Amino acid sequence: MIRGRPLAAAMCGLFAVAACGGGGSGVPSNRPAAFKGTVKVALVDVFSGSFGFFGGYLQNSLQVEADELNAKGGLLGYKIEITTADDQLSPDQGASLVRQQLADSNVKLLVGPSFTSVFLAAKPIINQSKVPNCLPAVAADSAMDGAVNSFRTQEQDRYRIPAVLNYVAKNTQVKKIGLIYEGDATGQSYDQQLGTAAQAAGLEYVGAAFTTATATDHKPLVQQMIAKGAQGVILSNNSTTAGRTALAIQQLGVKDKLAQFGFSGLGGYTYPQLGGDTVDGTIFAATIQSYLTDIPESKWPATYRDFVKKITTQYGYSSNGLEMKGTPLAADCMIEWSKAVQKANAFDGTKVVKAWEALDIPPTQNVLGVREKFSASNHNAVPQEGIFVYQWAKQADGKFRLKQLVGPAGT
């Protein structure tokens, strides 16, 4: 696993020699003499409660990319500043904060809100504002319908659902699958999609058991799945909710009867922390998570490896000692937006959105390590070949690691 260099060394890497004590050498500094001004990237997301760490991870990811751009003279000569607001996972609060942030004429990019219900509440405001918007974690594909200014870095359901179900059908004994999820827009969307998707994979979908983000006892939900004949269950993309479901499976002693599957949210270490031993063997589809696997760093995409170094150097690891405090999904928001601004040669929202729709970013120039090709009809960054299938595996030291089962494009 990568362990970061001391902070002072990392900062020296961001600036010219003169900035780190080499001023008398006669070597010219690469730092700008002065910025033309400041533009803001506003992050509206969750910073409080059991899922509050996520907003911090998004902020860190945006900040390391902003620092790198600022060290090179900024964007079109302007310094980038990150501002944040806590939507508390509330649709009303999220919409209000989005309105406030977009009222500031210096805000040139909005990141978030994450979670479908909060985004949907803010979506009309975002559309009307003409300010580009990037979404690192809006799960439902349908949420992107009519989102004319929004671009998404999270993988699409139409790719990740088949990736999981096809793997389950081909490599496990599970034939009947159910869903335990919040009864929000995302949960309802999955319930609608899983019947057809399961059938296409040769599985039977037995239905959903809905919960809330605040419910702590998931045993009745698990019992409901068992009663329906489910042999496996798709868990919530909220790692806290998923962890509570896994814990209930453990408490009921039905791990051998109910396998656990899901999507990128299960890659958060909160899931194994809450779910305990039952998490061992959980299979999920996500974008690249190589740093949590035993895959050698030399085989990681170079841009992804550099991002992990930047995050762990500047912010370290979470309390479990394994999870980095950042996500490539947010970093790519900054990368895509900066390229669109440069292509448009302006911060004007309408021009930047049009330029964003014309981007074709090669794998070597983004953190996710995939080709990000946009169009007027496609505002999603991650193509089908950017989907991985992982499995949580408990190690001899009691900690969990990921095993990569399927690489990009099913390799």
Structurally, at CATH architecture level, domain 157-286+387-410 sits in 3-Layer(aba) Sandwich (3.40)
Q: Looking at residue 240, what is its pLDDT?
A: 86
Residues 293-312 pLDDT 10s: 999 999 999 999 999 999 99
Where is 186: in which H helix or E strand?
A: helix 185-201
14: CB partners within 8 A, 6+ apart: 67, 68, 71
Ranges assigned E (strand) in 267-350: 283-286
Where is 45: in which H helix or E strand?
A: strand 37-45
Question: How sure is the predictor about 328, in pLDDT bands with cuts at 50, 70 and 90?
Answer: very high
Give CATH 3.40.50.2300 domain extents, the chain.
Answer: 7-155+305-380, 157-286+387-410
What is the rounded distance in angstroms from the CA atom of residue 205 to the CA atom of residue 210?
Answer: 15
What is the rounded distance in angstroms from the CA atom of residue 147 to the CA atom of residue 151?
Answer: 8
Ranges assigned E (strand) in 168-282: 176-182, 204-211, 232-234, 259-262
Question: How sure is the predictor about 26, in pLDDT bands with cuts at 50, 70 and 90?
Answer: very low
What is the rounded distance in angstroms from the CA atom of residue 135 to the CA atom of residue 138?
Answer: 6
User: Which amino acid type is present at position 248?
Assistant: A
CB neighbours (10 Å) of residue 142? 16
Widest pairwise Cα distance in the chain: 76
What is the rounded distance in angstroms from the CA atom of residue 14 to the CA atom of residue 66?
Answer: 11
Where is 86: in which H helix or E strand?
A: strand 78-86
Structurally, at CATH architecture level, domain 7-155+305-380 sits in 3-Layer(aba) Sandwich (3.40)
CB–CB of 71/139 below 8 Å? no
Residues 250-265 pLDDT 10s: 999 999 999 999 999 8
* Closest to 195 measured CA to CA, from 178, 210, 212: 178
Query: With 90 as the cut, is the pLDDT of residue 28 above it?
Result: no
Query: With 90 as the cut, is the pLDDT of residue 219 above it?
Result: yes
Q: What's the whole-number mean pLDDT along residues 362-367?
A: 97
Q: What's the whole-number mean pLDDT along residues 156-166?
A: 95
Q: pTM for the complete prediction? A: 0.88
The helix/strand/coil state of 219 is helix
